[in-house]
Structure 1
Amino acid sequence: MGASCVTQRQVMAWYDENWNSRVFPFFKRPMLTLETSLSTGKYPWSADDAMDILEDYFSRFSVDRQTFAFHSYWPNEETFIPIIFLRSKKNKWQWLEPKPLTLNMLVESAKAGRWLYD
């Protein structure tokens, strides 16, 4: 799919049909808007799911991912320190606030054919 012909409706439909599932079977599917954040907020993706979903996104919409910085949106996911209490105070792990990755960012980048943020 060429970048110039990608529309907001196509990106939103792709996400809604393929990735917007219920959190629990008895809950409603989350309502989507362009401001819906996929890395922060009420229903963020896990880093593992995000990798799969974004791989599909970049491929399906032919978006150049060269400037995409995954760890800006999921900075804490790969951090596991089993003996954190043994580390010095200056080397302790600290929570980093993830940047919001919104559906609008996916839409605008798909239209441009390259990642526009970071």
Structure 2
Amino acid sequence: MVTEQEVLEFFREQLPVLGTFTGKLIPLQLDDILQEYSEADDLVFCMNKYSDKFNVDLSMMTYNVYYPWFKTWFFRKWFTSKPVEQISKPLTVRMFAESAKAGKWLYD
């Protein structure tokens, strides 16, 4: 049986690691929003590998439900406290882990 930790480690290996201005690395966590953590191109490539490795059929996944995703400007927090209104649902590693356990995409 596939564990959440296995899926998390897979995504950590496949996606570029984020870092701060001081060079501190920010490791990916189960509930991090993948659209904010990674570029769409990297994520799509990773999802294809995920599908093969964990034998999960992602053909039922509706990509338009999760994109477009509006990334915030780094300095935005100093100019406004109004949250960005996303029109798409967030993707998390936990969603992929649960789907790997079930053997099919569970969300949308």
TM-score calculated relative to the size of structure 1: 0.66
- Counterpart Cα distance in 2 of 1:31 and 1:39: 15
Question: Which residue matches 1:104?
Answer: 94
Give the number of the structure with larger relative contact order, counting CA–CA contacts within 8 Å between residues 6 or more apart: 1
Query: C-alpha root-mean-square deviation of aligned residues, in Å?
Result: 2.4
* TM-score normalised by length of structure 2: 0.71
Greater Cα radius of gyration, structure 1 or 2? 1
Unaligned runs of 5+ in 2: 71-84
Structure 2 residue 10 is matched with structure 1 residue 14: yes
Identity of aligned residues (%): 35
CA distance in 2, matches of 1:111, 1:11: 10
1:117 match: 107
Structure 1: unaligned runs, 5 residues or longer: 78-94
Shift of 1:20: 4.4
* SS of residue in 2 equivalent to 1:10: helix
Q: Size of the alignment, in residue pairs?
A: 94
Deviates more, 1:60-69 or 1:99-108: 60-69
